[in-house]
Amino acid sequence: MTLSLLLHSKPGTSPSRLRAGAPPENRRAPFEFYPTPPAATRALLSAERFEGSIWEPACGNGAIARELIASGYDVTATDIADWGYGTPHCDFLSAEAPRGRNIVTNPPYGYGLADAFVRQALRFTAQTGGRVAMLMNIASLCHPSRHGSFVRKPPSVIYALDECVCFPLGDPALASRYTLQHRYAWVIWDHGHAGDTAFRWLSTAPFTTAQQKGEQQ
Ligand SMILES: C[S@@+](CC[C@H](N)C(=O)[O-])C[C@H]1O[C@@H](n2cnc3c(N)ncnc32)[C@H](O)[C@@H]1O
């Protein structure tokens, strides 16, 4: 399958079932594979610590997991697909038991998957006593379908990232205008948290190499 065909596909969708004529902005990468630039994880780790092990349950090619390991964390990395890293063929949404105390990931977004990931991560960390950190499209925080769940279970802190581009399949050549318009935040949940959500600004610039800066432009 070529990259352009892959970009048309929904997870589990064969090329013969592709939607003809969809504008480039509506195409999603297969399995929602948009790897996280290392600087986004490094920025998170400059601001937050996690006690105990971490499960990266949608690890892709290990973009987040590698940074966590480099910072000394004991990481279990799984994914539903095989992107050449971690343990493939593990569907987080049908997992029955937690595989780490904390959960840190950039989840798949389309088709309501991010909401399901947040729910599942909160369920598991309620059992382990760990924390959840999810890289989310900041616009997704402002939506009638999520308002209630954020009010019922507010994050302890939200970090607005100044610069972060998650390219389809990690390939800048596949970026659409829409890809470049996304803005991201790390959203952190602590089960012991009560009260307001702290909102902070976090820069990826100190953690971004010159080559990565070039790719983002
Ligand atoms: C936005 S990418 C992020 C990858 C990686 N977390 C990172 O930050 O670089 C989303 C990932 O979710 C995986 N994925 C999609 N649905 C999944 C599911 N139900 N269970 C586990 N992984 C899933 C995809 O294969 C893809 O690697």
pLDDT of residue 28: 82
Q: Which fold has domain 31-216?
A: Rossmann fold (3.40.50)
Contact 152, 194 (CB under 8 A): no
Give residues (CB < 6 A) around ligand 1: 31-36, 57-60, 63-64, 79-81, 83, 91-93, 105-106, 108, 113
Please, are residues 175 and 168 in contact by the beta-carbon 8 Å criterion? yes
Residue nearest to atom 17 of ligand 1 (CA): 80
pLDDT of residue 108: 96
Substitution candidate for ligand 1 out of 76, 79, 90, 171 with most atoms within 8 A of CB: 79
Q: Which ligand 1 atom sits nearest the alpha carbon of residue 62?
A: 9
Q: What is the pLDDT of residue 97?
A: 98
**Distance from the CA of 46 to the center of ligand 1, in angstroms?**
23
Q: Which of 41, 59, 91, 120 to mutate to test the pocket of ligand 1 (most atoms within 8 A of CB)?
A: 59
- Res 212: pLDDT: 66
d(CA 214, CA 25): 22
CA of 154 to the centre of ligand 1 (A): 24
pLDDT value, residue 178: 85
Alpha-helical runs (H) found in the chain = 3-8, 38-47, 63-70, 113-128, 144-152, 177-181, 210-216
Q: What is the pLDDT of residue 215?
A: 65
Q: Which atom of ligand 1 is nearest to the CA of 108?
A: 10
* Structure token digits, residue 172: 């800048």
Q: Whose CA is nearest to atom 26 of ligand 1?
A: 33
Residues of the chain with pLDDT under 70: 1-26, 210-217
User: Quick one: 10 exposed, middle or buried, by C-beta within 10 A (0-12, 13-18, 19+)?
Assistant: middle
What pLDDT does 29 receive? 86
The confidence score (pLDDT) of residue 14 equals 30
